[in-house]
Structure 1
Amino acid sequence: MTAQLACMTDDVAPEEALRVELEGEKGPVEVAVVRDGDGNWHAISDICSHGAVSLSDGEVEGCFIECWLHGSQFDLRTGMPTALPAMRPVPVYPVTIDGERVLVDIDQTVSPS
């Protein structure tokens, strides 16, 4: 597969997240499409690695998203947890902006730097 249309740029304001479901090889993949405080785009697994809840329902602050249930925070660039109780990273996917279209490739993951 290749990058898929996740949403339009007008669908997500800075420091907000949108839950989308994209089609993976093994079925639907839940992704949080996020615009950070600087307006940069990110795509991260929508499922918190600590508790199976939606990260897109949490708050976005700068380059971090916080899980609304237990307060775990994740770096949007790497997927690494930055606040407990989460200890495992979540997948981060490449994002491409094509005009007004936000494309996400769930077949690749971004490696932490």
Structure 2
Amino acid sequence: MSEVSIYHNPRCSKSRQTLALLEDKGIKPQVIEYLKEPLTAEDIQGLLRKLGFVSARELMRSKEEAYKELNLKDEEDESKLIEAMLSHPKLIERPIVVKGSKARLGRPPEAVEEIL
């Protein structure tokens, strides 16, 4: 198993760019297509810790239709935010690169270099 993993959506240009950046550096990450391999609440909580995020909202894509449909803008209950991401994985910001106890969002892709 690779020591680097990427939570990846192949349809996302930033995700593809981040994966290419890793591969250009000779890194063969474990690719987790989170839209096909559903995450658990524990997975999301672990990612939040590794990213250093205080709230699950920081990991959410607020421009997704589900964000508006579920009226998440004013939701303060962290468990409900996580539940929404579990039910609608497109709400999860991507890509996320993890190495050991650290993680970074690949927005921009170069941001992941600080943990490599």
Same fold (TM over 0.5): no
Q: Which has the higher helix share?
A: 2
Larger Rg: 2
Greater relative CO, 1 or 2 (CA 8 Å, sep 6+): 2
TM-score under structure 1 length normalisation: 0.30
TM-score under structure 2 length normalisation: 0.29
